[in-house]
A = this chain, B = another copy of it.
Amino acid sequence: MSYFDAASAAPLHPVARQALLASLDEGWADPSRLYREGRRARLLLDAAREAGAEAVGCRPDELVFTPSGTRAVHTGVEGALTGRRRSGRHLIVSAVEHSSVLHSAEVFESAGGTVTRVPVSRTGAVTPEAYRAALRPDTALACLQSANHEVGTVQPVAEVAAVCREAGVPLLVDAAQSVGWGPVEGDWSVLTASAHKWGGPPGVGLLAVRKGVRFALQGPADERESGRAAGFENIPAVVAAVASLRAVRAEATEEAVRLRELTERIRERVPDLVPDVEVVGDPDRRLPGIVTFSCLYVDGETLLHELDRSGFSVSSGSSCTSSTLTPSHVLKAMGVLSEGNVRVSLPPGTPAEEIDRFLSALPGAVAAVREKLGAPSPRTAAGEGVLVVDALGKRCPIPVIELAKVIGEVPVGGTVRVLADDEAARLDIPAWCEMRGQEYVGEEPAEGGRAYLVRRLS
């Protein structure tokens, strides 16, 4: 098996395993106790905090350990918003944040706050100018990920931090995807991360809050972790998390070069090997190990199964794999194709041969799915004909497949009207038009769903 989903969770690093085992014996006691076992646990926790702070680039008393990256985000956003509630009730987030940030924003909104969602380019990046434009006198907090978890695009964090600093607004950086590669540059105020993304054990998040940032929590708390993460400290996991962070950091520069070459190989080769593919995300400003592409006329879930059978574990932002039946908010915000989406995220140490094996297996897997779904043979449809395609009740990618089948049957200048009720169609029909050089005219309500209008240009 080749595990290519490190952006979800990385296998435990050998150093983490070793540190965990050792500290299960040394660090199980309550570090607030005065007896020997408690003092020993306290020493381990203090040492981990010091080493963790050094890796993050903050003071030890600015760093607390939470039970997960998600908890770090929830606490970080709540704490900064509550701490600055007298400054105002406005929050800025990018449209492509991790769901933990977006969920926090929704809760804030439903409690009467206002949220501005900063849009991204087609490569998934925000601009400092967009953050500057979003800032208001009542802005309490801005949030920006260091790099995107679905497409790997690196955000201009230092520049956005400078813009926020100028306005006196703290910036929370969700560094979950990047912190294993290096510290976050720039003048951030709050930083969050998640150990299992860099090969640490599950159960550990990092929350760093710079001195001077107003921070207050409202829920029940206790005296542990400076009142910012209630509950008995998970010292063995914390020790293992920090040990593995230092270990991956020590190899980061070299490994980044190697993984970047491997993902570059995928970026270059996939469009040659598989027809009708869109590689998404920024080709240059991106994380070393992540590459994402979408395949027309493919159902993401079926493709994942096909690849799993061939021995590859990858992830997808397609609607079809999500329980909510909506396509990834990241792909949506970027305005790129979401159907048949595949994210390859390589754990450090991935051998080059596994990439070659993947590139050999991918074309057959995609073709098999397309064959099952009856996708059109590329660029063969021709003739005049039908104007309305009824794809009501059909799930992604069927509406696009039906559109592609008939587009050649209307004359150049003619229009196809696709009736569909699947949410993904709203995203994928315009994306298909862009890929195919056809004109997307727009959408309108129709009985039982929406009508999407496409004009044949060639």
A residues lining the B interface (CB < 8 Å)? 1, 3, 5, 8-12, 17, 20-21, 24-25, 28-30, 33-38, 67-71, 74, 77-78, 99-100, 103-104, 106-107, 194, 196, 201-203, 205, 218-223, 230-237, 301, 304-305, 307-308, 312-315, 321, 323
Contact = CB atoms under 8 A, between A and B. Distances in A.
Contacts of A106: 220
B202 A37 contact: no
A93 to B, nearest CB: 12
A134 to B, nearest CB: 21
A29 B17 contact: no
B35 A235 contact: no
A232 B9 contact: yes
A34 B222 contact: no
Interchain residue pairs A-B with the least CB separation, the first 10:
A68-B231, A67-B67, A35-B313, A70-B231, A103-B220, A203-B234, A203-B203, A202-B234, A8-B30, A104-B220
Contact of A100 (B21, B99, B222, B323): B222
Contacts of A234: 67-68, 201-203, 237
Contacts of A69: 231-232
A196 B28 contact: yes
A64 to B, nearest CB: 14
Contact of A301 (B25, B34, B203, B220): B34
Nearest to A111: B218
Contact of A107 (B8, B17, B74, B220): B220
B201 A33 contact: no
Nearest to A237: B203
B1 A29 contact: no
A1 B39 CA distance: 14
Given A11-B28, A67-B67, A5 B33 contact: yes
Contact of A1 (B28, B37, B202, B203): B37
A9 B24 contact: no
Nearest to A204: B203
A232 to B, nearest CB: 5
A34 B299 CA distance: 14
A106 B202 CA distance: 31
Nearest to A314: B35
Contacts of A74: 219-220, 230
Given A107-B218, A107-B220, A202-B237, A34 B70 contact: no
Given A34-B305, A234-B237, 15 more contacts: A1-B37, A8-B29, A9-B30, A12-B24, A20-B24, A29-B313, A35-B308, A67-B68, A68-B231, A68-B234, A70-B230, A77-B220, A103-B230, A202-B235, A223-B323
A222 B99 contact: yes
